[in-house]
Amino acid sequence: MRSFGRWLLWILLAGVALQLFFVLRIALMAVVDPVSTSFMRSEAWRIAGDRLEGDKPWRWSHQWVDEAQISPHLKRAVIASEDAGFMDHRGVDWAAIETAWQKNERRQQQAERRAARQPEQAAREPKIVGGSTITQQLAKNLLLSGERQFLRKGQELVLALALETLLDKRRILEIYLNSVEWGEGIFGAEAAAQHYFNKPASRLSPHEAARLAVMLPSPKFFETRQGSAYLARRTVTIVARIGAITPP
């Protein structure tokens, strides 16, 4: 029993040490731009492995730019599309999480009913709705793996609260826009603007900014479907909402 207690103590100390490590890294980001994120590094390894197995050319594009060099239209469009309550919440939108939970339950029930009627559909998993804020997405991309686990989700919530405590909204949005994925090997607003519109992020128009914002939930999917009717319709919707958003 004493041995078990010691092991439990070591596990708790390791957990505390990990949280302190995360907090120190976040605090440092108040003055130092992160060179890369956990997600970027994992994607780099995946892409490198794919290239070794095939004959596709290596493609990687990422360039950090100060928030003043990112179009205000893009800031507004991303907030409008990804997290309309960004300026009001403290890292976690509990109402959005509850709504997402309810949607996922309904989709799971619908999938089970379809599987009962059509057994061949049983293997198809329903699409999961996340309900994550921009701060939560940044926490996950910066420091965590992309696996969907309750433990990882709990850690994401803790890190989101730490980000909101140690950094202001302007800095959170700046880091997010400079690190988020916008396609295969394309990270950050500057790389996305150059790839899709052949111009710097500072010169994006409202329509171009809205189009990039709409791509964010599934950037690899929309990268190869630029003619998507959904992408066009959703872009028009976000353009109409941009005027009501005040970025930090």
Query: Does an H or E element contain 235, and which?
Result: helix 229-242
| Position 212 pLDDT exceeds 70 | yes
- Is the pLDDT assigned to residue 143 strictly greater than 60? yes
Least confident segment among 6-15, 35-44, 152-161: 6-15
> The domain that contains 69 carries what CATH number?
1.10.3810.10
pLDDT band at 129; cut points 50, 70, 90: very low
Give mean pLDDT, residues 99-118. Answer: 61
Over residues 50-70, mean pLDDT = 84
Residue 244 lies in a domain: yes
Q: Are 238 and 210 in contact (CB under 8 A)?
A: yes
Residue 67 covered by a domain: yes
Confidence of residue 109 (pLDDT cuts 50, 70, 90): low
pLDDT at 118: 64
Banded model confidence at residue 82, pLDDT cuts 50, 70, 90: very high
- Is 125 within the bounds of a domain? no
Please report whether residue 222 resides in a domain.
yes
pLDDT band at 98 (very low <50, low <70, confident <90, very high): low
- Would you say 81 and 74 are in contact if contact means Cβ atoms under 8 Å apart? no
Q: Given this model, what pLDDT does residue 117 score?
A: 66
Q: Determine, yes or no, domain membership for 220.
A: yes
Question: Can you tell me the distance from the alpha carbon of 64 to that of 187, in angstroms, rounded to the nearest whole number?
Answer: 9
- Classify residue 47: in a domain, yes or no: yes
Average pLDDT (76-80) is 97
Q: At 108, is the pLDDT very low, low, confident or very high (cuts 50, 70, 90)?
A: low
pLDDT for residue 103 is more than 80: no
Tell me what the pLDDT averaged over the chain comes to.
85
Is residue 130 in some structural domain?
A: no
pLDDT at 150 over 70: no
Number of independent structural domains in the chain: 1
pLDDT at 196 exceeding the cut of 80: yes
Distance CA 21, CA 16 (A): 9
Query: Which pLDDT does position 126 carry in this prediction?
Result: 39
Residues 174 and 182: their CA atoms lie apart, in Å, by 15
User: Residue 85 pLDDT more than 80?
Assistant: yes
Task: Please give the average per-residue pLDDT across 180-205, as a whole number.
Answer: 96
Q: CA-to-CA distance for 11 and 99, rounded, in angstroms?
A: 34
The answer, yes or no, to whether residue 33 has pLDDT greater than 90, is: yes
The conformation of residue 31, written as its DSSP 8-state character, comes to T
Tell me what pLDDT residue 123 has. 44
For the ranges 40-54, 154-168, 179-193, the lowest mean pLDDT is seen at 40-54
At residue 161, the pLDDT reads 92
Structure tokens belonging to residue 225: 């479907």
8 Å CB contact between 192 and 212: yes
Helix (H, G, I), strand (E, B) or coil at 119: helix
| 223 lies in some domain | yes
Return the percentage of the chain with pLDDT > 90, whole number.
57
CA angle at 116 for the pair 113 and 118, rounded to the nearest 5°: 105
> What is the extent of the structural domain holding 222?
38-52+59-85+168-248
